[in-house]
Amino acid sequence: MELPDDELPKDKQSAEGDFQFLTFTDFSQTTHPETKRRIRSHAMHRVQRSLRAKRQEKNVKFILDVSPLMDIGSSSQSSAQQRQDYGMALSHFHATPHPSDLGSGRVDPFKQYPIDMDLRMHELFDHLHGGICPVFRTMSKIGFFNIVADEAGFRQILCSSSAHMTQLRNGTDSPEAIVLSTQAIRSLNRRLAAPVSSLDDGIIAAILTFACHAVMFNDLPGLITHLNGLVQILQQKGGIQILNPSPVLRIMLFWVDVNAAFLQDLVPRFLSPLDILPPLYTNRLTSNVMDESSSSNLAAELVPIFEQISLLNEFILRELGTRDLWDDGVFCGLQIVPILHQLLSVRFDIEAPNPAIVRQEFLRICAIIYLAKLRQKFGVNLALDIYIAKLKRAVIDLYELVLGGADHLLLWGLIISGLQSFGYRDHAWFVSMAAVAILHAECESWNEVVNKIGQMMWVQQAFDLECDRFRQELSDELWVSYEIVFL
């Protein structure tokens, strides 16, 4: 038997492979348990020492295959082949998980979520907090995503995230979004079927996620359906006052309600939550709001609203000088949406052929689409079809007043109508009507027009993208139709 080196005589320790013989006086000693244990211990000692040595010599190595990148630089390959290989190398790189897949610190990968989260779900949830979508950014700022703890609502916000990512890639339908929405609807139906869970705040937040998705993608039928469901649940729970302990839910419901009313030009279903809305900064502004000639031509219902819009314009201009206000979607929701709520709540009976009433309705609609343009700068884009049609009917009825040329509010309304009608089939008609108004207002240049309408409601930066094109269209129309040079 071979003994360990430390138990060999000193003169034998240098001789690898020498054996030590054991002598027994009695054969029974060979079968004794203690003898067997010692023999096994001696036998394993060298094996264990050998294994330890191998572990110490073993090095951890990472093999990085850079051949695809080296081949790309080869001059023997064509440029098309290089691009193909480069794309394959990038696809291989992106297929490897890296820290950004878990949110890059924006979301907590160890948080307890309402559903099982894989890598893709984390990516969708991270997109909600990534700051790319202005609507998501606003909802994240007020903490709405933090209170969506229901499975149905959580799947629906992931559905909205997937649909938005598809939209950014110029896609139309997202199979992933459809699957997530279907799962969310099934979960919501299960909750609604349960007598207890169908009336808690979690179900309200879940339905709000569906309504917000409908607003984002201008799905009016879906928005009406979800808003009707919210109204029924609130009635069963005792009214909207049950949301008083949750300001976030009240604000979200207020925004959804105003957006639904905007898409239909109807009176909003709920009152403004004045107790949680901030003031309109009237204490910070000291300039004159509107001149008397303009305010005297307004209906009593519209005067305070137009004054608020003028104050809003002045505040926006001041803030744009110090910060990027267009990035603050919360400001839009807390300052512009309440004014929009007031405009939607005002109604004029235009069935009777009364030009004075039609003029008030025309100005009301122009103020609505003006605020819609400001909201577009904040990232909220809602369809204007219903307002473009109403504006055309109103301008036809007011044509005689347009020819008068002295009504600066009508000129302002026609300019706003022309700027906001891009992409609609009646845009050329609005250009021609605006040209008529400019002609009779005796404005020889675009700067003169801006000076006249700027005395009322105008934020130049809101229309920078459209102004140059609209100005050129007006110049062409005035030259072709009236041979007037418009600079």
129: nearest Cα among 150, 147, 149, 105: 105
Tell me the average pLDDT across 55-61. Answer: 58
pLDDT band at 393 (very low <50, low <70, confident <90, very high): very high
- Matching residue, tokens 């909207």: 240
pLDDT band at 465 (very low <50, low <70, confident <90, very high): confident
- Rounded Cα–Cα distance for residues 69 and 48 (Å): 45
378 CB neighbour count, 10 Å cutoff: 22
* pLDDT tops 90 at residue 344: yes
324 CB neighbour count, 10 Å cutoff: 8
150: nearest Cα among 192, 122, 109: 192
Q: Look up residue 208 and give its two tokens.
A: 């709000």
* pLDDT tops 50 at residue 16: no
pLDDT band at 192 (very low <50, low <70, confident <90, very high): confident
- Rounded Cα–Cα distance for residues 31 and 34 (Å): 9
Tell me the average pLDDT across 37-51. Answer: 75
408: nearest Cα among 452, 442, 373: 452
Of residues 393 and 17, more confidently modeled: 393
pLDDT score for 477:
92
pLDDT band at 198 (very low <50, low <70, confident <90, very high): low
Buried/exposed code over 174-196 (b: 16+ C-beta within 10 A; e: otherwise): bebbeebbebbeebbeebbeeee
- Rounded Cα–Cα distance for residues 111 and 102 (Å): 11
Within 240-383, residue ranges assigned H as helices are 247-264, 292-296, 303-320, 329-331, 337-345, 355-377
Reduced to 3 states (helix: H, G, I; strand: E, B; else coil), residue 445 is coil
- Rounded Cα–Cα distance for residues 219 and 213 (Å): 8
Tell me the average pLDDT across 415-426. Answer: 93
Mean pLDDT of the chain: 82
* pLDDT tops 90 at residue 164: yes
Residues with Cβ < 8 Å from 219, sequence gap 6 or more?
213
Question: How far is residue 214 CA from its own chain's centroid?
Answer: 13
Do residues 368 and 340 touch, judged by C-beta distance below 8 A? yes
Torsion sign over Cα 201, 206, 208, 209? positive
Tell me the average pLDDT across 191-213. Answer: 85
- The pTM (predicted TM-score) of the whole model is 0.76
pLDDT score for 320:
92
181-190, 192-201, 275-284: which has the highest mean pLDDT? 181-190
C-alpha distance from residue 28 to each of 24, 31, 43 (Å)? 9, 6, 21
pLDDT score for 44:
75
pLDDT score for 92:
47
Torsion sign over Cα 378, 337, 369, 211? positive
* pLDDT tops 90 at residue 1: no
Per the document, the length of the chain is 487
Helices and strands: H and E segment counts in the chain: 21, 0
pLDDT band at 100 (very low <50, low <70, confident <90, very high): very low
- Rounded Cα–Cα distance for residues 72 and 69 (Å): 5
CA count, 13 A, side-chain hemisphere, 37:
3
* pLDDT tops 50 at residue 8: no
pLDDT score for 19:
57
- Range of weakest confidence among 159-168, 291-300, 424-433: 291-300
pLDDT tens track for 294-307: 566 788 999 999 99
Do residues 263 and 382 touch, judged by C-beta distance below 8 A? yes
Tell me the average pLDDT across 232-257. Answer: 92
